[in-house]
Amino acid sequence: MNRLPEGVLERTTVRLRPDPARIVSQLFVAGEEMPSGSSRATTVMRRVLALSEEQVETELAGVFERFGDRHEHLSEELVAHFEHLSDRTGDTPELSVARRMLVGAYATSEYAFESVSLCNPSIVAHPDQSGIAPGQLRFLISLRAIGEGHLSSIELRAGTLDGAGGISVEEPGRFAVTGTVQPGPYDRDAFAALLAGHGGDVEVASMVLGRLPGRFTRLGLEESIAAVPARAVARGGGRLMIEAIRTVADSNYTLTFPEASAVSERVVRPAGPAESHGMEDARFVRFVDDDGTVTYYGTYTAFDGARVAPQLIATDDFRVFRVAQLAGPAAANKGMALFPRRIGGRYFALSRWDRETNAVATSADGRVWSDATEVQRPERAWELVQVGNCGSPIETDEGWLVITHGVGPMRAYCLSALLLDLDDPRVLRGSLAVPLLEAEGAERDGYVPNVVYSCGAILHGGSLVLPYAYGDRETSFARISLTRLLPLILGAGPAPRASRA
């Protein structure tokens, strides 16, 4: 295999490593962690309720002695978890605050959200650039944090690029913050498009959505469901559709973090059914609309234990996030990445809807993606298993620069690059004839060997700053000379077309 010329790419010594000491509290319902899913929570609660008040005070004191310095708001967390199970107390008289918190402690566990891996980063310019020196750029990096059970969350870190090529990343705060989830709001047309992918009685869907305005709340949705005739709901297809409607509703929500929290303390954890088994590989982009409005969008892979699907997360400030599902055949499978602006009035995105090629999809509203055009297929020896993107395209004078990944023999990953036409990104201008970056030395070892991966890069000065993960274990950074890379891509032209099977 030919190699990249010297001086194009430089690895840095910056490392972001998983820390098993970073934890959050989570609801723990005894029994539900087992495959059967049968809950023993009521039995456990009865045992706690049977304790004397003196025993309660003693045990609760022990809880705070052991765990009080590991959580910033432990009392509130214990009470919230008690409230989740409070309907199981039956006719028990009013409980003391101490007993409520102790019940909550038995319904709480700690979760080390990045104990396994901190990988697959994307990077964008920070929305707040105040107070930095000339030549510097403040950035935000998102990371895939993997913990027990291979459950993935989205973690955020802030940092700075300086004029000399230096990279610094802030240490995260002592306590992690998970935010508050609120359902909705919902767009009726987008909701209808999402339901098209579910089974069930379409007449029931029409009955529910037909009563709703263009924008509606979860309360309005439940009121419309309640108005559907019982005979329609009783049909098998009717029950399936009502279940699908609620699943879609639960998968579209708003997540809000406290104003006092720092961005490097915030962890976006799975909250909807579509992502119950993980939120993977967020690709954030700073999107500038035609009127100059800036929104940060992140496309990520939601996994429910059986199916994967791209979802969209949107924010203006990285404190309030709006999570929405994407619809349409071009939004199937993993690895969607939005372009940073509209082109000809339409949204564009990179897609891998067939699981092995890079394609460009378009959408009128950014939510429904019905078509895609292939721009790259596995052609070179080091990518014959599949190709995909490594984040949103970057606009240059020569075209849209896309960092790609390819999978070759021994399931070894490497990164490469291509250029798409600025005016019509469905036209491929050229692709790099050699790998841009592949795992070397100790990078080859990890949770998943021989993997390098990224979910987004950023331009700073004349360099492309590329955060990348290795071994699905840790994250580092590389700097790439744009002036040296682009001629290599254009000089190579498109890859030679292999015969199709």
Q: Which CATH class is domain 9-20+272-492?
A: mainly beta
Please answer whether residues 414 and 406 qualify as being in contact, where contact means their C-beta atoms are separated by less than 8 angstroms.
yes
Q: Interhelix angle for 74-85 vs 97-106, to 10°?
A: 80
The token pair at 493 is: 């032209």
- Three-state DSSP class for 313? strand
CA dihedral 98, 102, 105, 107 (to 10 degrees): -120
Would you state the pLDDT for residue 42? 84
- Closest by alpha carbon to 361, among 346, 373, 376? 373
210 Cβ contact list (under 8 Å, min separation 6): none
Would you state the pLDDT for residue 499? 39
pLDDT, tens digit (0-9, with 9 covering 90-100), for 185-214: 999 999 999 998 787 889 999 999 999 999
Please answer whether residues 276 and 305 qualify as being in contact, where contact means their C-beta atoms are separated by less than 8 angstroms.
yes
Which amino acid is residue 69, in one-letter code?
A: D
Which amino acid is residue 374, in one-letter code?
A: E
Q: Which residues of the chain have pLDDT under 70?
A: 1, 32-39, 89-93, 493-501
Three-state SS annotation for 101-162: HHHHHHCEEEECCCCCEEEEEEEEECCCCCCCCCCCEEEEEEEEEECHHHCEEEEEEEEEEC
Place of tokens 């997540």: 255
Place of tokens 């939510």: 367
Q: What is the C-alpha radius of gyration for the chain, rounded to an integer number of angstroms?
A: 25
Question: Which burial class, exposed, middle or buried, applies to 490 when counting CB atoms under 10 A from its CB (0-12, 13-18, 19+)?
Answer: middle
Give the DSSP letter of residue 276: T
E strand or H helix that includes residue 12: strand 9-16
Strands (E), 28-126: 108-111, 117-125
E strand or H helix that includes residue 63: helix 53-67
Which amino acid is residue 203, in one-letter code?
A: E
Cα separations in angstroms, 354 against 279, 320, 327, 329, 360: 21, 33, 15, 10, 12
431-456 per-residue burial string, b: 16 or more CB within 10 A, e: under 16? bbbbbbbbbeeebeebbbbbbbbbbb
Would you state the pLDDT for residue 55? 97
Strands (E), 162-307: 167-169, 180-183, 186-187, 215-216, 253-256, 267-268, 279-288, 294-303
φ, ψ of residue 321 to 5 degrees: the values are -120, 135
Would you state the pLDDT for residue 98? 96
Q: How far is CA 338 from the centre of its chain?
A: 14
* Portions of the chain given CATH number 2.115.10.20: 9-20+272-492
Interatomic CA distance for residues 74 and 334, integer angstroms: 37
